[in-house]
Structure 1
């Protein structure tokens, strides 16, 4: 698949996923709902992402990733345009749920398509580039939706994003289809076997914790910014996510970090330690310090994510669809719980209690990843 097309679809998919996040306070006011109810706009999309990737992984054992992408991208584009036209909060929730049912098809198929065309020795480099594109989409979606809401209209952002997704379909249609995987029975036993293979369950579980903490912090950042700066615009709230740029640096540097530290295990542990430590300055009631903590937070998060996604793919073999389905499922199941449960803590105990809970989950994830079986570095940086 051409790199520009891969980049465009991935970025737009993450525009859809994270575009509403800086708008949550505005949407809460507009539709007369609470903070935790508004956070359901993120939960509704993340919920299917926690389960559906396993089903799509099974589909990808029989159907080419190109076919799944064509259907998924088309449906996502339509659902995103309809989201912008909705006039009731319940309709917004329903459409976010629909987006969540389609997004895992696009993300799982994209990871599978990349791994199908990549040799194991280049897997870390290719997956790091893919993770960098997801970061670009997550950052761009938040910044642009905030800018549209402040200077134009928030609905225009989603209409433009949906239309752009539909415009990629003619290009996807021209991409040669890779052969579908050999048909095989998908059972609970086979899924468990893939989960346990090579001790990768530790990575899947660690990724669950990673994204629980990530979504838990970033979902309630807009409300924290409003607490510290009551007059903050949606654009200013969007800017707090600018720490995402460190994620691009981390993803592209992942291979070098592994080489310098000598093993995957050390690189994963280092990223996770930085990630959890970044929660501490987020406790300080000072807006610039909060901004700075997000930079460190994203640096650690995406270093772990880039290394983990490549690690499970290097030994995937013919089980690429299921391996990526399990990875995406573990990732977003953590996100589902992280998008809502910390909100209950936030409403009942405030920001400090929320950070304490997130730190505890982060420490569990750190323990899981450091127990992963060591894998030596593959050679000099850049390979």
Structure 2
């Protein structure tokens, strides 16, 4: 399978994950459900992502990753089509949960294929390209879904998505990739990285980071609607451009990290800025909000870019074990952040919502800065 084909497939797979996000306010109106209930469309998808990567790593250890990817994409295409045709919100939730079970299989297959086919410098470069495709997929999935809803109907995007996934799946040729020969690891080995106190602290930081990010991204349509009177789904979709700009700004992470002699100090500085952006958003000024939102996204990607290699430096476990646990904590934060802050937003309002995120972000800052102050030096 050519790498370009894999990257394009990755983008469309991330369309599935993030497309509902800018449409949550629309779903709440169309199906007459609450703000928090509509947020469950994201929570139910991220919940399996919080657990499944660990188990799928074992389950698929001896399978051909391209065969897994092909089946997963076909399932995602069928569920996307049914999502557009669903007559009730309960059915939407059921389909999103099925997608949540399928998405980690696709992600595991893609990273597994890259790990099989490439090594050394090529492995690093192609994994970076894969991460870039996931960021671009997250951005385009949000923007295109919102614009389709404005130009046509929200269902039209899902029809196009379903057809695209089927075509991409049929283009996959599993015979071109030999299945791995190694035996699967013991399940107990997957818990090994969590036993190290530093790993636990780092994973706690990652949990806090994505909790805040998922919450703000999830409820952004409601904030724009209620605080800034922006109701057009197309305009809401373009506000997510801050996500892409933030991702571009985060490319400076390697340069910035060279200015710090300790990774924990860098994480502390990034979490401090993460907190400041949430403070700035308290002022109901749209221009200030957009600037703070862009910096907020940049901080998230920079923390992510710093924490992921740090986890691999700290852990003595195999990389697949470390990264599986990392992804689980990452999406655990996303699953809770996609739901709990929504309850606070609908019950206590925008400022209480931001204070909640600030408190969680403050926990991440505390974890990183106390580790640094204890003199732990990881460069």
TM-score under structure 1 length normalisation: 0.89
Q: Is the 1:109–1:321 contact (alpha carbons within 8 Å) kept by the matching residues of 2?
A: no
Q: Could you tell which deviates more after superposition, 271-280 or 108-117?
A: 108-117
Distance 2:163 2:266 in 1: 40
Give the match's secondary structure for 1:100. helix
Q: Is the 2:193–2:317 contact (alpha carbons within 8 Å) kept by the matching residues of 1?
A: no
1:348-379, Cα deviation, whole Å (9 max, x unpaired)? 22111111111111121233345385443xxx
Deviation at 1:67, TM superposition (A): 3.1
Deviation at 1:229, TM superposition (A): 3.5
Distance 1:236 1:164 in 2: 25
Deviation at 1:318, TM superposition (A): 8.4
- Map of 1:381 onto structure 2: none
Give the match's secondary structure for 1:214. helix
Measured at CA, do residues 111 and 314 of structure 1 come closer, stay the same or move farther in structure 2, by a change above 3 Å? farther
Deviation at 1:167, TM superposition (A): 1.6
Give the match's secondary structure for 1:323. helix
Give the match's secondary structure for 1:50. helix
Question: How large is the Cα RMSD of the aligned pairs?
Answer: 2.6
Give the match's secondary structure for 1:337. helix
- Map of 2:48 onto structure 1: 48
Distance 1:118 1:294 in 2: 36
1:13-68, Cα deviation, whole Å (9 max, x unpaired)? 22111111111111111111111111111111111111111211222433343333
- Map of 1:100 onto structure 2: 100
Q: Does residue 53 of structure 2 align to residue 58 of structure 1?
A: no
Distance 2:51 2:36 in 1: 22
Give the match's secondary structure for 1:200. helix
Q: Could you tell which deviates more after superposition, 74-83 or 303-312?
A: 303-312
Q: Could you tell which deviates more after superposition, 333-342 or 240-249?
A: 240-249
- Map of 1:280 onto structure 2: 279
Measured at CA, do residues 176 and 310 of structure 1 come closer, stay the same or move farther in structure 2, by a change above 3 Å? farther
Deviation at 1:223, TM superposition (A): 0.9
- Map of 2:348 onto structure 1: 349
How many equivalent residue pairs? 375
TM-score under structure 2 length normalisation: 0.89
Distance 1:19 1:169 in 2: 19
Measured at CA, do residues 14 and 333 of structure 1 come closer, stay the same or move farther in structure 2, by a change above 3 Å? same
Structure 2 unpaired stretches of 5+: none
Measured at CA, do residues 310 and 185 of structure 1 come closer, stay the same or move farther in structure 2, by a change above 3 Å? closer
Measured at CA, do residues 274 and 7 of structure 1 come closer, stay the same or move farther in structure 2, by a change above 3 Å? farther
Q: Is the 1:60–1:180 contact (alpha carbons within 8 Å) kept by the matching residues of 2?
A: no
